[in-house]
C-alpha cells in the first residue's frame, strides 16, 4: 500500500459508505477468467468473460481495474497510509473495498471486501485476523456506486388529513388527501 502524503484536504470517507451492496455472484466457472475479471463482475454485474476478453494474459493491473469501474459510473478512491491516518473517521464495514494482495510469490490477486466478508473468484468467506499479514496489501481502493444507496420511500411532504363531511369521512376526501386512488 502506498504511503501517500498529508498534503491536501482530508477525505470524507462517509460519502463512500454503502447501505445496500448486492454482489453479483456468477458461477465458479467464471472464476477461470481470473481474479480481476471476477472482482469486476462481482461489482458491476457484467460477466467476467467480458473483462477477460480485454486481458488475455489474465493480468489485471490497477489502471485497467480503475478505468473499467469509472467508465461504468463507479467512484473509486485510492487508499493510502496517509489519507487513512489523516482522518478521525476512516473506513469501516459499510465500505466496499477492492484490494490487491500479494497472494503467492510474484503473484497478486484481487478481492472485494464488504462487511467482514471476502469475495475472491466468487468464493465467499469471512475475513481472518491475519489475512493482511500473511498476504500483504499491494493496493487498496474504496468503491462506490449510487445504486448501492437505499432509496427512501418517505413522502417529501406530509399527507393532509381527510376532512370530515357532515360528521364522517367521505371517500372523496380520502382520495383528495392522497390516501387512496380511484384505481383502488
Give how many domains the chain has, as a whole number. 2
Q: What pLDDT digit, counting tens, does each position of 12-61 carry? A: 788 888 888 888 888 766 556 788 999 999 999 999 989 988 987 888 99
Alpha-carbon gap, residue 42 to 168, rounded angstroms: 56
Q: Same domain, yes or no, for 87 and 104?
A: yes
- Does 110 reside within a domain? yes
Report yes or no on 7 lying in a domain. Answer: no
- Mapping DSSP to helix (H, G, I), strand (E, B) and coil, where does residue 159 land? coil
Give the contacts of 145 (CB within 8 A, at least 6 positions apart). Answer: 43, 73, 74, 75
- 46: cell is 457484467
Question: Within this chain, do residues 164 and 134 fall inside the same structural domain, yes or no?
Answer: no
Q: Are residues 56 and 128 in the same domain?
A: yes
- Whether residues 73 and 109 fall in one domain: yes
Domain membership of residue 53 (yes or no) is: yes
Record the pTM: 0.74
pLDDT digits (tens, 9 = 90+) for 75-128: 999 988 887 777 767 888 889 999 999 988 888 999 999 988 999 887 888 878
Parent domain of 83: 13-148
Provide the edge-to-edge strand list for the sheet that holds 107-114. Answer: 75-78, 137-144, 96-104, 107-114, 117-120, 123-126
pLDDT score for 153:
46
Contacts of 133 (CB under 8 A, 6+ apart): none
Cell 372523496 belongs to residue: 172
Number of neighbouring beta carbons within 10 Å of residue 126: 9
Amino acid at each position: 500500500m502506498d504511503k501517500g502524503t498529508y498534503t491536501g484536504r482530508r477525505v470524507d470517507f462517509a460519502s463512500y459508505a454503502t447501505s445496500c451492496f448486492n454482489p453479483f455472484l456468477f458461477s465458479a466457472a467464471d472464476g477461470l477468467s481470473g481474479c480481476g475479471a471476477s472482482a469486476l463482475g462481482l461489482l458491476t454485474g457484467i460477466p467476467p468473460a467480458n473483462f477477460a476478453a480485454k486481458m488475455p494474459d489474465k493480468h489485471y493491473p490497477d489502471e485497467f481495474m480503475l478505468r473499467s469501474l469509472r467508465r461504468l459510473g463507479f467512484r473509486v478512491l485510492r487508499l493510502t497510509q496517509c489519507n487513512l491516518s489523516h482522518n478521525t473517521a476512516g473506513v469501516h464495514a459499510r465500505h466496499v473495498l477492492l484490494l490487491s494482495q500479494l497472494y503467492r510469490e510474484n503473484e497478486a490477486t484481487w478481492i472485494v471486501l464488504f462487511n467482514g466478508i471476502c469475495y475472491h473468484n466468487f468464493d465467499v468467506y469471512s475475513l481472518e485476523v491475519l489475512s493482511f499479514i500473511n498476504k500483504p496489501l499491494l493496493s487498496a481502493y474504496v468503491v462506490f456506486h449510487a445504486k448501492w444507496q437505499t432509496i427512501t420511500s418517505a413522502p417529501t411532504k406530509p399527507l393532509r388529513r381527510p376532512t370530515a363531511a357532515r360528521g364522517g369521512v367521505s371517500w372523496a376526501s380520502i382520495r383528495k388527501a392522497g390516501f387512496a386512488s380511484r384505481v383502488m
